Structure 1
Amino acid sequence: MPIGASVTFGVGSTTGNSYRKNLQDLMNANNMTIDYVGTRNHGNFNNNAVEATSGFVISQIAAAAHAAVPIFLPNLVLIDAGTNNCNSGGTVPDAGANITNIINDVFAQSPGSTVILATILVNSDAKQDACRVDENRQIATLTGSMQAAGKKLVLVDMRGPDGPLVSDLADGRHPNDAGYVKMANVFFRGIEEVVSKHILSPPLNTIFTSKTVGDS
């Protein structure tokens, strides 16, 4: 289940696919099968379900996820939350705590699930970008705490050397097609990490399968 706002939905993409179709292609090429789930559909490919709404801030993403997760019972959840909280710059001191609540709610409502959490993309506006950098510090802190507590959580860095650059943004905020390809590659490495650590449980509703799951 891809959870987020406009980036996850696919704004800036010429197809509306976001990173999701590219990620599916990477998984298929590596003998993995994915079935996206969510209450919405967007993109020009068949497997285009998503749980994302443009403009949503963390609290709205949390409410949407709270309603959708028990319906679909995903075993793998991809979360990108917090971008719109920074649209006015400043800081969002409770971002980490609120994203932690989303993750814990996913774990509670879909037992055995695993979460891949993304850091927040670059932004061409200096004030918004500074806010996102601060949110990413909070995301790194919450990830360390939750992993130390044994939670099935993997962090992927969208601001790493191979993540989207400002030049990969369609409008200064949302990735263009090349930027979404980069996002897919980063998310795929997160999936590889999940599989290598053997922290992906079989889906409760048979919504995500891979021949590598359960391999020793």
Structure 2
Amino acid sequence: MEKLVERISTTPYVSALVARRRFLFGAFVIFLILIAVSLTEKEDVNAWSRTQSGFSHLAAANGTNSNGSIPIQSSPLIPIGQGYKRPGYELPLADGIPLRIMAIGASTTRGDESFDNNGFRRPIREYLTSIGNPVNFVGTQRVGNMSDNEIEAYPGARTGQMHHHALDVVPKTKPNVVLVNVGANDCFQHWDIPNFYKRYYAFVDYLLTASPRATIVMGTLLPTTETERFNGSADVTVVNQQMHRLYQIFKNEGRPVVLADMTGPDGIQDSDLSWDGMHPTSAAYIRMGQILLRSMIEADARGFLRPAEPIHGVLQDGDLEHQDEDYGRWADEQRRLEAHRKKVEEQEVMKMTEELKRWTTSLEGSLELKKHEADIVPKLRRDSNSVDASNTILAWILGLLATWIQSNF
């Protein structure tokens, strides 16, 4: 039987049939691969068209951009990915929930030595509202020239004293973000520094208890160069070390607490302090605001930010609470003037764009003329060279003719 099968399989017809079946199977596999590749390429092209739909208007028939901008013919479009939009960058924090913020501390929290007495609150508020989060600062005091300027800050107050002030205001306002900057006066007054961390822990624990939906942003202390009255630089170093350890403890406990480290290479330096060696300059307050914002973005990324508890009489937007005040009316006028300025600027940009378009068109025309001239000059030079060569040959022939006439006549 085996010999019979072997003889049948070796016949020319059967061999050709087997080879043909193998060829068809291989062709079918290749066909499937080509289909898969084509589908993948189509999907990639569609994805590219979706991400780059905004570029379709750039190509114009005359080589200039249809929106009037200057054409860049030597720079082809490079595929750009959609990128990673982290919370707080172009997107509002926590899906745009209203942020009821309490800034609590002493004179640095108040913004002392800043040009407008808003300190770090102004840049924080401007950024958060620009990305879509309604903001209302809360507190029993009003400091600064912005309308939403409530705050809870007392110059010279130590951590324990600020804890006492919080007992009254926090249950009445229920902030969902608390910017804490306390401890500097403990250092300046050299108030039981070895046990500072116990007072700070009790303070933060109370804030989270009195406002259960709050996120605490712990701000470390700024450096100090003042040496004549307080000389607290060494104590600041000790307290900041305790704060870093406390933050690790809160983190281990799973508390909604983030650290805003004001030290380090990108923090506040000695050169950023004002004349008194204790408070930051106006520019340094802005940097403080940026550091605090980074910590709020981190809090959002970790899922800490939650809507504040409803409180009767506390609005979502702090500006609305004071829109009828003199400053509120002034702020409205400033916004109106800013809108007018932006409109004028847009018109000027459009005029400049049209002028650039005309200029580039004329420039292209002059380039075409120069190219035409560049093509004509070599041709004229070649024609001139041909004429010179012809004249040389003619003169040589005439010379030969004159020599022959002289020799024969």
The Cα offsets for residues 108-166 of structure 1, whole Å up to 9 and x where unpaired, read as: 11112110001100101364111101001111111101110110000110112222212
Match of 1:43 in 2: 144
Letter in 2 for 1:123: T
- After superposition, where does 1:48-127 map in structure 2 within 5 Å? 48-88=149-189, 92-125=193-226, 127=231
Using the alignment, how far apart are the partners of 1:46 and 1:53 within structure 2? Answer: 20
1:9 corresponds to 2:110: yes
1:199 equivalent among 301, 304, 312: 304
Deviation at 1:30, TM superposition (A): 2.5
Q: Percent identity?
A: 30
Deviation digits for residues 46-80 of structure 1, max 9, x if unmatched?
A: 11100101110111111111211001011111100
| Aligned position for 1:152 | 256
Cα offsets for 1:166-210 (capped at 9, x unmatched): 22111200111011011000000011011111111111037697x
Between stretches 181-190 and 198-207, larger displacement belongs to: 198-207
Select between 26-35 and 157-166 the one with higher mean Cα deviation.
26-35
Contact kept, 8 Å, 1:114 with 1:153, in 2: the verdict is yes
Q: 1:132 aligns with which of 225, 228, 236?
A: 236
Query: What code does the residue aligned with 1:148 have?
Result: N
Map of 2:39 onto structure 1 = none
Alpha carbons 1:34, 1:208 under 8 Å: kept: no
Structure 2 CA distance, aligned partners of 1:23 and 1:162? Answer: 18
2:78 match: none
Q: Is the 8 A contact 1:76 1:208 kept in 2?
A: no
Which stretches in structure 1 are left out of the alignment for 5+ residues?
A: 210-216
Richer in strand (by share): 1
Q: 2:342 aligns to what?
A: none
RMSD: 1.9
Task: Please identify the structure whose Cα radius of gyration is greater.
Answer: 2
Asked if 1:167 is matched to 2:271, the reply is yes
Q: How far apart, in 1, do the equivalents of 2:282 and 2:202 lie?
A: 31
Mapped partners of 1:201, 1:159: distance in 2:
28
- Structure 1 residue identity aligned to 2:187: C
- Which amino acid counterpart does residue 80 of structure 1 have in structure 2? N
- SS at 1:95 equivalent: helix
Counterpart Cα distance in 1 of 2:161 and 2:305: 27
Contact 1:19 1:181 in 2 (8 A): yes
CA contact (8 A) 1:156 1:186 kept: yes
Change (3 A) 1:182 1:22: same
Distance in 2, Cα, partners of 1:51 & 1:94: 24
SS in structure 2 at match of 1:2: strand
Matched, 1:18 2:122: no
In the other structure, the counterpart of 2:281 is: 176
Give the residue type in structure 1 aligned to 2:280: P
- Is there any run of 5+ residues in structure 2 with no aligned partner, and where? 1-101, 317-409
Q: Distance in 2 between matches of 1:205 and 1:43?
A: 26
Q: Choose between structure 1 and 2 for higher RCO, CA contacts under 8 A separated by at least 6 residues.
A: 1
**2:194 partner SS:** coil
Of Structure 1 and Structure 2, the greater helix share is in: 2
What is the rounded CA distance, in whole Å, between the counterparts of 1:119 and 1:3 in structure 2? Answer: 13
Provide the secondary structure at the position in 1 that maps to 2:164: helix
Q: Is 44-53 or 80-89 further displaced after alignment? A: 80-89
How far did 1:90 drift?
Answer: 8.2
| Helix, strand or coil at the partner of 1:94 | helix
DSSP 3-state at the match of 2:216: strand
